[in-house]
Amino acid sequence: MQKTPLLTRRELLKVGSSLGIGSLLPLSALSANTLQTQARIVILGGGAAGMAMANRLAKRLQGGTITLVEPRETHHYQPGWTLVASGVWNADKTMRPNAQFMPRGVNWVRKHATGIDADNKRITLTSGEALEYDFLVVATGIQLNYHLIEGMTPELVGQHGIGSVYASIEGASRTHQAIQTWLNSGHGKGIFTAAPTPVKCAGAPLKMTFTTLSRLEASGQRDAFKVDYMAPGAGLFSQPWVDEFVKQRFDDQGVNRRHYYRLSAIDPHARQAEFAFVGPESEFTSHHELREAEFRRDNQPSVIADYDFIHVVPPMSAHDFVKQSDLIAQDGPFRGEWLDVDIHTLQHNRYPEVFGIGDVIGAPINKTAASVKAQAPVVEENLLAVMQGKTPPAQHTGYTSCPMITGIGKAMLVEFGYADNFAFMPSFPFIDPTDESWAAWVMKDRMLQPAYYAVLEGQA
Partner 1 sequence: MTIAGAITILTYALAPFMWLLIIVVIVVTGLHLLAYLRGYQITRYRHRRTTLLALIIGLTAIIWVPWLTHSSLGYVATLFDWVALLGAAAATFLVALLILQPLSYLISFHNDQ
Q: How would you class 84 by CB atoms within 10 Å of its CB: exposed for 0-12, middle for 13-18, buried for 19 or more?
A: buried
Does residue 228 bind partner 1 (CB under 8 A)? no
The torsion angles phi and psi of 84, rounded to 5 degrees, stand at -65, -45
Does residue 11 bind partner 1 (CB under 8 A)? no
- The alpha carbon torsion through 117, 166, 374, 111 (nearest 10 deg) reads 40
Does residue 20 bind partner 1 (CB under 8 A)? yes
What percentage of the chain's residues is helix, strand, coil (to nearest 5)?
35, 25, 40
Residue 407 near residue 214 (C-beta atoms within 8 A): yes
> Which H helix or E strand runs over 262?
strand 261-267
Does residue 409 bind partner 1 (CB under 8 A)? yes
**C-alpha count within 13 angstroms, C-beta hemisphere, residue 235:** 17
Does residue 428 bind partner 1 (CB under 8 A)? yes
Does residue 24 bind partner 1 (CB under 8 A)? yes
Does residue 431 bind partner 1 (CB under 8 A)? yes
Please state the three-class secondary structure of 204-260 as a single string: HHHHHHHHHHHHHHHCCCHHHEEEEEEECCCCCCCCHHHHHHHHHHHHHCCEEEEEC
Alpha carbon distance 9, 391 (integer Å): 38
- Single-letter amino acid, residue 370: A
Query: Which range binds partner 1 by CB under 8 A, 61-69, 98-106, 260-268, 405-413?
Result: 405-413
Does residue 307 bind partner 1 (CB under 8 A)? no
Min dist. Cβ of residue 99 to partner 1 (A) = 18
- State how beta strands 35-36 and 61-62 pair: parallel
Does residue 253 bind partner 1 (CB under 8 A)? no
Alpha carbon distance 200, 360 (integer Å): 10
Residue 376 near residue 408 (C-beta atoms within 8 A): no
Strand partners, 228: 191, 256
Site residues for partner 1, 203-222, by CB under 8 A, read: none
Does residue 394 bind partner 1 (CB under 8 A)? no
Does residue 28 bind partner 1 (CB under 8 A)? no
201: alpha, beta or left? (left if phi > 0; alpha if psi -120 to 50): left
User: Which of residues 410, 418, 422, 433 is near partner 1 by CB under 8 A?
Assistant: 410
Q: Nearer Cβ to partner 1, position 14 or 122? A: 14
Min dist. Cβ of residue 426 to partner 1 (A) = 10
User: Which of residues 4, 7, 17, 132 is near partner 1 by CB under 8 A?
Assistant: 17
Does residue 427 bind partner 1 (CB under 8 A)? yes
Site residues for partner 1, 125-184, by CB under 8 A, read: none
Alpha carbon distance 2, 439 (integer Å): 40
Does residue 453 bind partner 1 (CB under 8 A)? yes
**C-alpha count within 13 angstroms, C-beta hemisphere, residue 292:** 17
- State how beta strands 143-144 and 316-317 pair: antiparallel
User: Which of residues 45, 79, 362, 407 is near partner 1 by CB under 8 A?
Assistant: 407
Q: Nearer Cβ to partner 1, position 125 or 451? A: 451
| C-beta atoms surrounding 424 within 10 Å | 16
Does residue 380 bind partner 1 (CB under 8 A)? no
User: Which of residues 8, 11, 12, 72 is near partner 1 by CB under 8 A?
Assistant: 12
Does residue 88 bind partner 1 (CB under 8 A)? yes
Closest CA to 79 of 317, 374, 310, 404: 404
Min dist. Cβ of residue 92 to partner 1 (A) = 13
User: Which of residues 37, 197, 345, 459 is near partner 1 by CB under 8 A?
Assistant: 459
Q: Nearer Cβ to partner 1, position 343 or 413? A: 413
User: Which of residues 2, 5, 9, 120 is near partner 1 by CB under 8 A?
Assistant: 9
User: Which of residues 177, 286, 397, 437 is near partner 1 by CB under 8 A?
Assistant: 437
Does residue 91 bind partner 1 (CB under 8 A)? no
User: Which of residues 7, 8, 11, 16 is near partner 1 by CB under 8 A?
Assistant: 16
The pattern of x and - marking residues 35 through 74 that bind partner 1 according to CB under 8 A reads ----------------------------------------
Does residue 408 bind partner 1 (CB under 8 A)? yes
Q: Which residues bind partner 1 (CB under 8 A)?
A: 9, 12-13, 16-17, 20-21, 24-25, 88, 407-410, 427-428, 430-432, 435-439, 441-442, 445-447, 450-451, 453-454, 459-460
